[in-house]
Structure 1
Amino acid sequence: MGRSRGGLTSKIHALVDAEGRPVSLRLTAGQVADCSEADALIDTIGEGDILLADKGYDSNAIRAKAAERKAWANIPPKANRKGRFAFSSWVYRQRNLVERFFNRIKQFRGIATRYDKDPVNFLAAVKLVAARICCLSL
């Protein structure tokens, strides 16, 4: 758990497939930048996949790693970005699958309130809820 102005916080980073089912889940402290955790998540994508992420994941390293894995990174550029990249707002609409996944896991009170303060136990609870979501969506 990390510290911020609001107290103890944590972030859940998720990689979901085209059906909204989780592929990879990671937990970091609240003050850790989003793009620092993307390296571990990108290792699970395959050739020809499309990486959809929000502006917090816009960095040259993430785009290079996705290109190295022969995947297309469709990430909107930050406001201070100098270079131009291919970006499709039509494809970006599918990113709502991640948001819907987070909405489903937050239906469980222990996850929404981050009841368990131990990061290992909290991540285990998130993975249990994700497994239940996967079983119900089949």
Structure 2
Amino acid sequence: MADEDGIFWSATEEPHPARDLSRASMRAVARGDKQAWVALFAEDGFVADPVGPSMFDPEGHGHHGRTAIAAFWDTAIAQAERIEFHIADSFAAGDESANVGLIRTFLGDGSCMDAEGVFVYRSAGGGLLHSMRAFWEVDRAMATLRQAD
């Protein structure tokens, strides 16, 4: 069942700083709150979504610093009409949490797409994220493109 913010969480509820930050990140994205999402990252934080070269990051170096993270939002996240998170499991160790599941993106043309993967969040301490790295395959996600129900 989804919470009020479009997060379908079937994983452990055990508190952990990185897991808690991952959920805060997902809530901000699902609400469309760019300012809250960018503010979760440390000044030197970074996003790699997906990890490696992609249409959002041709060089595959990630988006480093809050200005680049905000630009990533404008290029990738803002294009969605709605985003849901379906998290089946979560593994926390050290200062990181790896969430397993899928991100369902609804587009303005009535279509949707699922990106299955592993989404790794690393805490920088002080309630901030050092990084968010999303391991998913663009071709696999594109193969799920369909009209939304």
Q: TM-score range, shorter-chain basis?
A: under 0.3
Q: Which structure has the higher relative contact order (CA within 8 Å, separation 6+)? A: 2
The structure that is strand-richer by fraction is 2
Q: Structure 2 length as normaliser, TM-score?
A: 0.23
Larger Rg: 1
